[in-house]
A and B are shown apart, each in its own frame.
Chain A
Amino acid sequence: MSDSVVVPIERETDIVCARQKGRALAAAAGFLSTDQTLLATAISEVARNIVSYAGKGTVTLQTVQEGGRRGLSIVASDNGPGIENVELAMRDGYSTGKSLGLGLPGAKRLMDSFALESVVGVGTKVTMTKWLR
Chain B
Amino acid sequence: MTDLVKESSTQILAREMALTEQSVERRRRIVGLEPDDLARIAGIREVVLAQVDHFASVFFDYLSGIEEGRVLTNNRALTERARELKRSHLIAMVGGDYGRAYAEQRLELAVLYGRVGLELRVFIAAFHRLLRSIGEAVMKSTPQAPLEAFASFMALKKIAFFDIGVIVDAVVFERERVIRQQQDAIRELSTPVLQVRARLLLLPIIGVIDTHRARLITDSLLKAIRANRAKVVVMDVTGVATIDSKVANHLMQTVTAAKLMGASVIVTGLSAEVAQSLVALGIDLTTLNTIGDLQGGMDEAERALGYRVVSMDPRRDGAPLSPG
Q: Which residues of A contact B (CB under 8 A)?
A: 12-13, 15-16, 19, 33-34, 36-38, 40-41, 44-45, 48, 92, 99-100, 102-103, 105-107, 109-110
Q: Is the interface of B mostly helix, strand, loop or mixed?
A: helix
A34-B276, A99-B249, A100-B249 are known contacts. Are A19 and B242 too (CB-CB below 8 A)?
yes
B245 / chain A contacts, CB cutoff of 8 Å: 45, 99-100, 102-103, 106
A36 / chain B contacts, CB cutoff of 8 Å: 273
CA distance in complex: A48, B212 (Å): 14
B-side interface residues, number (CB < 8 Å): 22
A45-B244, A99-B249, A106-B245 are known contacts. Are A37 and B277 too (CB-CB below 8 A)?
yes
Q: Is the beta-carbon distance between B210 and A109 smaller than 8 angstroms?
A: no
B280 / chain A contacts, CB cutoff of 8 Å: 38, 41, 106, 109-110
Instruction: Given A16-B208, A37-B242, A102-B245, output 17 extra A-B contacts at Cβ < 8 Å.
Output: A15-B210, A16-B210, A19-B242, A33-B273, A37-B274, A37-B276, A38-B277, A41-B244, A41-B280, A44-B244, A45-B281, A99-B245, A99-B246, A100-B249, A102-B282, A105-B282, A109-B281
Q: Is the beta-carbon distance between A41 and B208 smaller than 8 angstroms?
A: no
CA distance in complex: A15, B277 (Å): 17
CB A123 to nearest CB in B, in angstroms, measures: 22
A45 / chain B contacts, CB cutoff of 8 Å: 244-245, 281
CA distance in complex: A41, B244 (Å): 5
A15 / chain B contacts, CB cutoff of 8 Å: 210
Q: Is the beta-carbon distance between B281 and A41 smaller than 8 angstroms?
A: yes
